[in-house]
Amino acid sequence: MFRVNEDYLKLPGSYLFSTIAKKVAAYQEKNPDKKIIRLGIGDVTQPLCPAVIKRLHEAVDEMADAKTFKGYAPDLGYQFLRDIIAENDYKQRGVAIESDEIFVSDGAKSDSANIQEIFAKESKIAVCDPVYPVYVDTNVMAGRTGTYDSATGLWSDVIYMPCTAENNFAPEFPKETPDLIYLCFPNNPTGSTITKDMLQEWVDYANKNGSVIIYDAAYEAYISEENVPHTIYECEGARSCAIEIRSFSKNAGFTGTRLGFTVIPKDIQTPDGVMLHSLWARRHGTKFNGAPYIIQAAGAAVYSEEGKRETKEQIAYYMNNASYIYEGLKSAGYTVSGGVNAPYIWLKTPDQMTSWKFFDYLLETANVVGTPGSGFGPSGEGYFRLTAFGSYENTVEAIDRIKAL
Ligand code: MLT
């Protein structure tokens, strides 16, 4: 008789955003005439920008012509896109990343989920708490997290780095030394950031301890403050300890078209010279047939002059929503943070409500959907996340409804 991967059975409940989607669908079914405003999952609402749409159309037409038709994409990504990324995201920032250190993928979610595969099963992981649930869940699936304590919401073999109002939602060095450190800045879910000097300390810590940092920079395009690093490779020594994961979803609206990339510098090596770069290339070759040509062509258009201008406008649009949420809630007496370098606003639930209680309360009384902070980890209890990715009209309506409660 077949047996299942029992590590999957350890996962408590369903994936956070699936749980929310089910709850909202059930509420809508019971209340069909209510207009629900969704500020839960960080999904964009603005259409793809004209430069991207134009390139998509052209690329589709290329597929109709035998001379320009493309079959399987190169598993590591088309060279034209890898070159553009290396130039724009790294070289122009004075950062030495070569195009062959860039692995194009179908998105940052898959990469942040899969990257753990190239590390030993016994690897000790450290995560911020609260945290994007993919990092922990995928390590649970890989049998790396020990046992789950439903009373505390903690896994016995995971090192948690609480990010609370007391430490300005920035992790502190853990007592126990991790092998893998997941960091995400600008942060999902708290919307916080750390300065370049603080990130440098993490890079120094990782190099000193032989740890690898998995740096999720999916929200990089939302950085508005000067001293916040756009890439971990701005820090000295990051080439020997850091993997960076990037997305086209949040900066250019590719949530539905899927595109992202991971950077693995060739300098990250075991003492006997095994390069993580080679392992990831091997994995990509075996498990991935490349992101579609059409989508990679559209991704390259994000870096054209028009693409840069148009995507900047979209980011400004979402950040205008972010300030509306931030200011609106603040004026209504909520304790809020985030929303300055990230499209997420992190608020304290009123009247000591638990995160899930506030979720239900908001859904039922204001018909607004957000994300319960405790869904991201125990330190998120008593907090709630709202996303700025809605339309401006819906954002205004949602905040006005909350203020009227
Ligand atoms: C989120 O809402 O946290 C993200 O949108 C989820 C994701 O990007 O997978």
Taking only the tens place, the pLDDT of each residue in 358-394 is 999 999 999 999 999 999 999 999 999 999 999 999 9
Are 282 and 332 within 8 A, CB to CB? Answer: no
Q: Specify the pLDDT at position 336.
A: 98
Which is it for strands 242-247 and 260-263: parallel, antiparallel or unpaired? Answer: antiparallel
Q: Kindly give the distance from the C-alpha atom of residue 42 to the centroid of ligand 1, in angstroms, as a whole number.
A: 5
Distance (Å) from CA 43 to ligand 1 centroid: 7
Q: Separation of 73 CA from ligand 1 center, angstroms?
A: 26
Return the structure tokens found at 264. Answer: 């693995």
Question: What is the mean predicted confidence (pLDDT) over 240-268?
Answer: 98
Task: Report CA torsion sign: 196, 198, 204, 205.
Answer: negative
- 243: pLDDT strictly greater than 90: yes
Ligand 1 binding pocket, CB closer than 6 Å: 41-43, 109, 132, 188
Q: Tell me: pLDDT of 13 over 90.
A: no
Residue owning the nearest CA to atom 5 of ligand 1:
42
pLDDT band at residue 20, thresholds of 50, 70 and 90?
Answer: very high
- Ligand 1 centroid–CA 117 distance in Å is 21
Q: Which residues are CB-neighbours of 164 under 8 A, at least 6 positions away?
A: 379
Averaged pLDDT, 302-327: 98
Question: What CA–CA distance (Å, rounded) separates 233 from 235?
Answer: 5
Nearest CA to ligand 1 atom 6: 42
Contact 189, 130 (CB under 8 A): yes
Q: How far apart are CA 63 and CA 214, in angstroms?
A: 36
Q: Where are the domains of the chain?
A: 8-47+308-403, 53-305
pLDDT of residue 320: 98
Please tell me whether the peptide bond between 229 and the residue prior to it is cis, using omega within 30 degrees of 0.
no
pLDDT digits (tens, 9 = 90+) for 180-239: 999 999 999 999 999 999 999 999 999 999 999 999 999 999 999 999 999 999 999 999
Specify the CATH number of the domain 53-305: 3.40.640.10
For 167-184, the pLDDT digits (tens) are 999 999 999 999 999 999
For the stretch 128-164, pLDDT in tens is 999 999 999 999 999 999 999 999 999 999 999 999 9
Rg of the chain over all Cα atoms, to the nearest angstrom: 21
Residue bearing the CA closest to ligand 1, atom 9:
109
Quote the ligand 1 centre to 157 CA distance (angstroms). Answer: 25
Of 15, 16, 17, best ligand 1 pocket probe by most atoms within 8 Å of the beta carbon: 17
Cα 72 to its chain centre, rounded Å, is 27
Correct CATH for 8-47+308-403 of 3.40.50.1980, 3.90.1150.10, 3.40.50.10540, 3.40.720.10: 3.90.1150.10
Nearest Cα to 380, choosing from 153, 45, 193?
Answer: 153
Amino acid at 121: K
Contact (CB, 8 A) for 178 and 211: yes
Residue type, 368: V
- Which helix (H) or strand (E) is 110 found in, with range? helix 108-114
Ligand 1: nearest atom to the Cα of 255: 8
Q: Which atom of ligand 1 is least distant from the CA of 247?
A: 8
Indicate whether 74 pLDDT > 90.
yes
